[in-house]
Amino acid sequence: MKRSLAAVLGGAAALCLVLAGCGSGDDDSGSSSGPITLTLAGWSLSTTPEFKTLADGFHAAHPDVTVQLKEYDTTNYDTQMIADLAAGKAPDIYVQKNLKNFFTYQNGKQLVDVSDVASKLGSEVGGLKDYQVDGKTYAIPYRQDSWVLFYNKDLFAKAGVKPPDGSWTWDDYAAASKELTTGLKAAGSKALGDYEHIWQSTLQGFALAQTSGASLESGDFGYLKPYYTRALDLQKAGAQVSFGDATTNSLTYQAEFGKQQAAMMPMGTWYIATLVKQQSTGEADKFAWAMAPAPQQSKATTGTSATPVTFGDPTGFGINPKIKKGEVAAAKDFLAYAASANGAKALAGIGITPADTGAVKDTFFQLAGVPTDDLSKFAFANHDTKPENPVSKYTTALQNILNDMHTAVLSGSKAVDPAITDAQNRAKNEVLGK
């Protein structure tokens, strides 16, 4: 859907005015003495235990503070949160689900400056710098998922293909996918070499992170070409499900990998907890699996002596400026706990990748069902993770344009070069040139 920058930023500006109007923070009626109750946003509370885990862990360390959860719809989280902020009904602490909408919240003055919390955290807390604007920090990350390569060891063995060793480029990945498809077919299996989900980030996130000099705001999207050319080649070769089939049949990445329809799958580390749980309940097949670093653009960042480059937005907590003044300190203590080593260990205990992966690199792999090989441990803890959505007033509009390009190319309605040219022209005319 084509939208001009005037429409996008005009609506954002109006939204900022509405949000700023309810974000003065002048309500000091809650100067509290004694027990405090903080409200915290979350989603899918029955199946997403991270919020309760952190709330309970914090309460255990701070018995006078209770954290009460408020549930939001996972798909419409930001829409609902923006509405609640405007209506003055938002919780005291709310989640920055990814970086795509962080600018809207921060520019709309809907986040308390938490630089004092950030200053006490170590550099090992991933994603912290992504919440900084003009030298101030407005949210604190509690988890930092990074994209890695999940692979089915049993299917590799069945196909007679050597598994990943940490040295793969994307060309190596593509060659292995084709070899796997051929080998699995010969062995009587219908599984394909790989599955790449329909999200634009599956290709664009890696391209932006791994290409030297690539910039979303530049409006020059030529860096995307090799990633799309490769994906189209894999689809044509029958080594991965086509975009059309995946969308028409509403395929899920959990079923494609968990039901052994594909031997490999690039995906975020959040999938670890899901796969472990689904294998324990029978929703996923029982098979041996492991992780490897995401394939790299060049050999320079491959191997366990190097740091692989990947992508992933942090997930953080921010404080609503309408919080009662007497409860700000407690809210900041909660943010500090969520990002601490203790918070990281609590999250790792339920299979969640915390912002501080170094604090849990040993205990995480003691969980039942998590692979314990050295390469999986390396892939989990070692990476240069760059944001999928660099913070900018242009990010949302540009990502919408690139999503249109993604669909056009993978569906076959446009060739790669003209689709990139069209996206660049739209970026200039509808966004950057306004």
Contact 311/207 with Cβ under 8 angstroms?
no
Q: With CA atoms as reference, report the closest residue to 26 among 296, 357, 322.
A: 322
Q: Between 117 and 396, where is the model more confident? A: 117
- Return the percent helix, strand and coil in the chain, to nearest 5: 45, 15, 40
For residue 271, tell me if it sits in a domain: yes
pLDDT band at 362 (very low <50, low <70, confident <90, very high): confident
Q: How many domains does the chain have?
A: 2
Helix (H) or strand (E) holding 149: strand 147-152
As given in the structure block, the two tokens for residue 427 are 């970026």
User: Which uninterrupted H or E stretch holds 292?
Assistant: strand 289-293
| DSSP type of residue 70 | E
Q: Does residue 351 carry a pLDDT above 90?
A: no
CATH of the domain at 28: 3.40.190.10
Q: 141 and 152 share a domain?
A: no
> Among positive and negative, which fits the CA dihedral 251, 254, 257, 259?
negative
For residue range 288-318, list pLDDT tens digits in order: 999 999 999 999 999 999 999 999 999 999 9
Joined together, the tokens standing for residue 409 give 């190319």
Lowest mean pLDDT among 7-21, 51-65, 101-115, 357-371: 7-21
> In this predicted model, which residue has the larger pLDDT, 381 or 336?
336
Residues 342 and 305 in one domain: no
9 and 23 co-located in one domain: yes
361 or 344, greater pLDDT? 344
Domain range for 237:
147-310
pTM of the entire structure? 0.84
Residues 25 and 137 in one domain: yes
Provide the pLDDT for residue 21: 41
Residue 370 has pLDDT above 60, yes or no: yes
Stretch 391-396: mean pLDDT: 90
Whether 379 is covered by a domain: the verdict is no
Q: Residue 163 has what DSSP assignment? A: P
- 223 in any annotated domain: yes
The answer to whether position 83 is within a domain reads yes
33 token code pair: 């003495």
The predicted pLDDT at position 278 comes to 93
> Token digits for 359?
């604090």
Residue 357's pLDDT band (boundaries 50, 70, 90)?
Answer: confident
**Does residue 45 contact residue 52 with C-beta atoms inside 8 Å?**
yes
Token pair listed for 403: 């999503």
Q: Are 284 and 275 in contact (CB under 8 A)?
A: yes
Among 294, 310, 326, identify where a domain stops.
310
Residue 421 in domain? no
Cα gap 169→163, rounded to integer Å: 13
Tokens of residue 59, six digits: 């309460």
Burial of 40 (0-12, 13-18, 19+ CB in 10 A): buried
Supply the DSSP string of 239-291, one letter for each residue: SS--HHHHHHTT--HHHHHHTTSEEEEEEETTHHHHHHHHHHHTSS----EEE
Distance CA(337)–CA(117), nearest Å, equals: 10
In this structure, of 27-31, 177-181, 215-219, the range with the lowest mean pLDDT score is 27-31
Could you read off the pLDDT of 222-258 as tens digits, one per residue?
Answer: 999 999 999 999 999 999 999 999 999 999 999 999 9
Instruction: Give, in order, the Cα–Cα distances in Å from 170 to each of 2, 28, 177, 234.
Output: 32, 56, 10, 12
162 and 299, same domain (yes or no): yes
Q: Is 335 helix (H, G, I), strand (E, B) or coil?
A: helix
Band of pLDDT at residue 354, cut at 50, 70 and 90: very high
Do 91 and 25 share a domain, yes or no?
yes
Distance CA 104, CA 26 (A): 21
Write out the two tokens for 404. Answer: 């249109």
**Is residue 160 scored above 60 in pLDDT?**
yes
End-to-end CA distance of the chain: 18
pLDDT at 212 over 60: yes
Q: How far apart are CA 310 and CA 386, in angstroms?
A: 6
**pLDDT category, 123, cuts 50, 70, 90?**
confident
Same domain, 167 and 271: yes
State the pLDDT at residue 14.
37
Pair (22, 136) in one structural domain: yes
Residue 174: pLDDT over 50? yes
Q: Which residue has the tokens 């950057």?
A: 432
In a domain, 137, yes or no: yes
Specify which residues 41 forms β-bridges with.
70
Question: Do 230 and 298 fall into the same domain?
Answer: yes
Q: pLDDT-based confidence at 31, cuts 50/70/90?
A: very low
Tokens coding 123? 């550099």
> How crowded is residue 170: how many other Cβ atoms within 10 Å of its Cβ?
20
What's the confidence (pLDDT) of residue 33? 56
Nearest to 177 by CA among 255, 287, 148, 169: 169
Same domain as 88, residue 21: yes
Q: Average per-residue pLDDT in the chain? A: 91
Same domain for 164 and 109: no
Grade residue 16 by pLDDT with cuts at 50, 70 and 90. very low
Query: 64-84 pLDDT, tens per residue?
Result: 999 999 999 988 999 999 999
Are residues 295 and 247 part of one domain? yes
The answer to which of 237-246, 260-269, 389-398 has the lowest mean pLDDT is: 389-398
Beta-carbon count within 10 A of 230 CB:
18
- The sign one gets for the Cα dihedral 21, 23, 24, 28 is positive
Does residue 415 fall inside a structural domain? no
Mean pLDDT for 102-129 is 93
Inside any domain, residue 408: no
Choice between 33 and 88, residue whose per-residue pLDDT is larger: 88
Chain CA centroid to CA 252, Å: 17
